[in-house]
Chains A and B, each alone.
Chain A
């Protein structure tokens, strides 16, 4: 009879170092599985990169859009705050005119004054009409923001009112009354007013500032950058490992309008790979490339922090050492998001996470396998604006 322990020991001894037959194709299956797993990981890494870039794009867009809308509201508040002041001055001017007209009876003496006062009145009425109309329009758009606007100082001629929206309502009422009685006069005075109203001056000013804003975006600027790169070799090789690599470059940019720009330059990069077929850990392969990027950019946001989405192609000019890789490795697709911050009138600093996707095989035709090296990196550099920026004063 055998005890439990004896049976256990018997099984243990029998199975110790007992080799079973392994299917002949097992090694091939393991290699295949490893490749599949690598491809899977690479796919998710690419997907992750695309998601991160997309999030950065969307995030950047929303951040700058928000900033833009805040600045627009700020501009509106200035206009709105001015309006009650004008209205008040109109009222006081009107009362002055009436008093003068009542008091002075000799027309020939006061002819000149009368003409002046009529002009003034016409001007005021026009301003009144114009500003009220403008306020009605603005009221619809920006009334929800009135409470957030700075309140008018008590020292000003504006009537002290609980809220600015009330002012607008009152103004609307006055506007209706005024416009009912004074429309014909306004029509008659219109040609004169066009040339002389404060608003026309304002329009001129705004036109000037628009012109200035346009000139605020210099047409030409130069980027100087360096990037830590991480290469991804596909298909993922069995025996190769990518190492941290780098790129340096210079790009000349030309802005086309408010948002668009094109850029080209020259870029030198080194891709470092370790592997049996390419280089040992002691002597890794340094694949050197000289490239010509041709990119287009779309600018989002303005001010001190700008975001530009850059996309385009990177054309290889020359690659060395030769043998395994072509002397011209073809074209890559480029997508990057540039975050720029102004440090002075002429200089900016920027960071640009990017993804470079190799479109063409990089290996020579005598090599049986095709190799593609994609790059993920972040360009960090400085930007120089050739034309001096106008301060807008």
Chain B
């Protein structure tokens, strides 16, 4: 079953097509959910809601652009909605430059994806959300500001703080062997 048939099957609410779609994309979408969620349980809730939303709105997919990109966007939006429901607050912090020692690139490349995920999960909710949206999803500060109804400056400061925390944690990992 090619992607087009799969999508048409899901539009017809064909359970087999929906199950195939789930099997194909659930893993990738679960990673997105894990990046945004505070814990595994919340990530699972996000994935569940994301798939329900995908199956409900799949008839709105216009076959223009990447289907995977569309699925990822829905998942990100669902994750943000769930975090906003949890009343995650993104508070503006002082814009002063934090002096952080940047880790060496070799140290970073030694870390596997699981470690990186753990690092991201240790970030406070607001920082984590903005780091994900800016650094990984590739949204601009203006887009993030519109999406989260915050000021652009807040988005910038939160990102800066998130990066600083991550760098600190990476250096800490370097110091603690094993």
Docked Cα-Cα span, A2 to B104, in Å, equals 6
Contact A11 B135 (CB under 8 A): yes
Contact B134 A8 (CB under 8 A): yes
Judge whether B116 is part of the interface by a CB distance below 8 angstroms. yes
Judge whether B60 is part of the interface by a CB distance below 8 angstroms. no
Judge whether A6 is part of the interface by a CB distance below 8 angstroms. yes
B132 to chain A, nearest CB (A): 9
Judge whether B22 is part of the interface by a CB distance below 8 angstroms. yes
Contact B14 A239 (CB under 8 A): yes
Residues of A within 8 A of B35 (CB): 15
Judge whether A344 is part of the interface by a CB distance below 8 angstroms. no
Docked Cα-Cα span, A27 to B29, in Å, equals 14
Residues of B within 8 A of A240 (CB): 13
B12 to chain A, nearest CB (A): 7
Contact B166 A7 (CB under 8 A): yes
Contact B134 A281 (CB under 8 A): no
Contact A37 B52 (CB under 8 A): yes
A340 to chain B, nearest CB (A): 41
Docked Cα-Cα span, A21 to B105, in Å, equals 28
Q: Which residue of A lies closest to B102 (CB)?
A: A1
Residues of B within 8 A of A27 (CB): 19, 22
- The 0/1 profile, CB within 8 Å of A marked 1, for residues 119-150 of chain B is 01000000000000011101000000000000
Contact A26 B26 (CB under 8 A): yes
Docked Cα-Cα span, A3 to B103, in Å, equals 9
A276-B52 contact in complex given A1-B102, A20-B31, A22-B47, C-beta closer than 8 Å: no
Q: For this complex, into which size category does the number of interface residues on chain B fall?
A: 35 or more
Docked complex: A1-52 residues within 8 A CB-CB of B:
1-4, 6-8, 10-12, 14-15, 17-23, 26-27, 29-30, 33-34, 37
Docked Cα-Cα span, A37 to B53, in Å, equals 12
Residues of B within 8 A of A34 (CB): 52, 55
Contact B108 A10 (CB under 8 A): yes
Contact B48 A29 (CB under 8 A): yes
Residues of A within 8 A of B14 (CB): 239, 276
Tell me the number of A-to-B contacts counted with CB atoms below 8 Å: 88
Judge whether B88 is part of the interface by a CB distance below 8 angstroms. no
Contact A18 B31 (CB under 8 A): yes
Residues of A within 8 A of B93 (CB): none
Contact B12 A20 (CB under 8 A): no
Docked Cα-Cα span, A294 to B52, in Å, equals 43
Docked Cα-Cα span, A6 to B105, in Å, equals 9
**Candidates A7, A30, A238; contact of B22 at CB < 8 Å:** A30
Contact B105 A2 (CB under 8 A): yes
Residues of B within 8 A of A19 (CB): 27-28, 30-31
Contact B108 A21 (CB under 8 A): no
Residues of A within 8 A of B55 (CB): 34
Docked Cα-Cα span, A149 to B112, in Å, equals 93
Contact B103 A2 (CB under 8 A): yes
Q: For this complex, into which size category does the number of interface residues on chain A fall?
A: 20 to 34
- The 0/1 profile, CB within 8 Å of A marked 1, for residues 43-58 of chain B is 0100110011001000
Contact B28 A241 (CB under 8 A): no
Docked Cα-Cα span, A4 to B116, in Å, equals 15
**Candidates B19, B30, B31, B163; contact of A7 at CB < 8 Å:** B163
Docked Cα-Cα span, A268 to B108, in Å, equals 73
Docked Cα-Cα span, A300 to B130, in Å, equals 64
Residues of A within 8 A of B51 (CB): 30
Q: Which residue of A lies closest to B164 (CB)?
A: A4
Q: Which residue of A lies closest to B138 (CB)?
A: A12
Residues of B within 8 A of A11 (CB): 116, 120, 135-136
Contact B102 A239 (CB under 8 A): no
Residues of A within 8 A of B108 (CB): 2, 7, 10
Residues of B within 8 A of A20 (CB): 27, 30-31, 33-34
Residues of A within 8 A of B117 (CB): 15
Residues of B within 8 A of A23 (CB): 44
Residues of A within 8 A of B44 (CB): 23, 26, 29
B8 to chain A, nearest CB (A): 11
Contact A12 B135 (CB under 8 A): yes
A277 to chain B, nearest CB (A): 10
Judge whether B2 is part of the interface by a CB distance below 8 angstroms. no
Contact A241 B136 (CB under 8 A): no
Docked Cα-Cα span, A360 to B78, in Å, equals 40
Judge whether B66 is part of the interface by a CB distance below 8 angstroms. no
Docked Cα-Cα span, A327 to B175, in Å, equals 77
Q: Which residue of B lies closest to A3 (CB)?
A: B102
Q: Which residues of A contact B (CB under 8 A)?
A: 1-4, 6-8, 10-12, 14-15, 17-23, 26-27, 29-30, 33-34, 37, 238-241, 276, 281
Top 9 closest pairs, chain A to chain B, by CB: A19-B27, A8-B135, A20-B30, A20-B31, A22-B26, A1-B102, A2-B105, A239-B15, A14-B113
Can you add 13 more A-B contacts, CB < 8 Å, to A22-B26, A30-B22? A2-B102, A2-B103, A2-B104, A10-B105, A10-B108, A11-B120, A15-B116, A20-B30, A21-B30, A26-B26, A29-B48, A34-B52, A239-B14
